[in-house]
Amino acid sequence: MTRVLGWLAVVALLAGLAVGFGVAPREVTQGNVQRIMYVHVPSVLVAYLAFAVVFVASVAYLARRAEAADRIAHASAEVGVLFTGITIATGSIWGKPTWGTWWTWDARLTSVAILFVMYLGYLLLRGMVEDRERGARYAAVLGIVAALNVPLVHFSVVWWRTLHQPPSLLKPGTPTIASAILAALLVNVLAHALLYAYFLAKRVRILRREQEASA
């Protein structure tokens, strides 16, 4: 099933790139640089998903001490950090021609940077504590606290005046972007979600085998 999931992710990614870069119309104001949105927006949405899974799995681990929940939280945090890094990188590439700078400390970018550092700290904490069970408990608490920053990241462009545009998806009302662009964006969101699921499944399997070997 993991292999099938991987192939589905590859096919979906190829389809998403084809639709986003070959079918969707050129944006009138920004031109072709806008097409990086088909990687940038799905990456941040999948990061939200990954950190939501960390939150739920961390709560489950603290409640039941289930090792499977801890493995899911650990794996999802790693994948979430990866997609957050992609979000920051693609946002900087997009920001240079549109804002005239690679980075600016506005509310959205600052909150994303804090989120990225918090989950890097989550992963570092796991590696620093020698006792695995104690490290899992500490990480679960941090995973729950760090997840509270996700709503701040998402709504920062609504609550404060920023250079960053308002949300394209996950906002009240009907999306204001063109239907063809929206369709291409949704295909890429699905593709990135499948890629996340594949990475998560593979990493959980590796973590399980590592624990079995150490036992």
Q: Tens digits of per-residue pLDDT, 65-94?
A: 999 999 999 999 999 999 999 999 999 998
Contact at 8 Å (CB) between 186 and 37?
no
Question: CB burial class (10 A; 0-12, 13-18, 19+) of residue 44?
Answer: buried
Residue 116 pLDDT = 96
- Does residue 215 sit within a domain? no
- Does residue 68 sit within a domain? yes
Residue 83 pLDDT = 97
Average pLDDT value for the chain: 89
Contact at 8 Å (CB) between 66 and 133?
no
Residue of higher predicted confidence among 96 and 123: 123
Task: Give the domain extent around 101.
Answer: 2-25+34-166+178-210
- Does residue 172 sit within a domain? no
Predicted structure pTM score: 0.90
Nearest Cα residue to 191 out of 37, 43, 90: 43
- Does residue 132 sit within a domain? yes
Q: For the chain, what is the domain count? A: 1
Highest-pLDDT range among 19-23, 26-30, 164-168, 189-193: 189-193
